Amino acid sequence: MLLAANAQLIALEAKLFHGLADPSRLAILRALLDGPLTVNEIVARTGLSQSNTSNHLACLRGCGLATTEQNGRFVLYALSDERIAQTLALADEILATVAKSMYECVHFQPAPRRASARAASTKPRARAARRLRA
């Protein structure tokens, strides 16, 4: 069956698309279409929190979709491949046709992502000890 034959490739494709399947990451990638940006610039342009932005950037970088370049205290992020821009453009073309159904599609609700994680780290960081040694 098809699945078995291309399982490996399909798994990678799924990961790649998954990387593109989040509004926050898409906003970051679109911001990078205009050229490399520092983290703070990305934060400013996307409106995401610093922490959240950094997490997504780590994700994009880890998956190879973005590259980094240290620049003094700053880190410049950039798209790793021009085909990423092409993919986004192609997606927009597809949406020109299926936007309506896609909008009405109930699968994959964007997740309300309520701003209320109400979390509070109770356990002390192990790294705290490391600093004491320094």
Site residues, DNA (CB under 7 A): 18, 22-24, 38-40, 48-52, 54-59, 68, 70, 72-75, 107-109, 111-125, 127-128, 130-131
- Phi and psi (nearest 5°) for 27? -60, -40
Per partner kind, with CB cut-offs from 5 to 8 A, the member of its own copies, DNA, none near residue 27 is: its own copies
Q: Determine the Cα–Cα distance for residues 85 and 76; give it in Å rounded to an integer.
A: 18
114 binds, among DNA, its own copies, none (CB under 5 to 8 A by kind): DNA
Complex with its own copies: residue 69 or 81, whichever CB lies closer: 81
**Toward DNA, which CB reaches closer, 68 or 80?**
68
The amino acid at residue 126 is A
- Classified as helix, coil or strand, 45 is helix
Contact 16, 62 (CB under 8 A): no
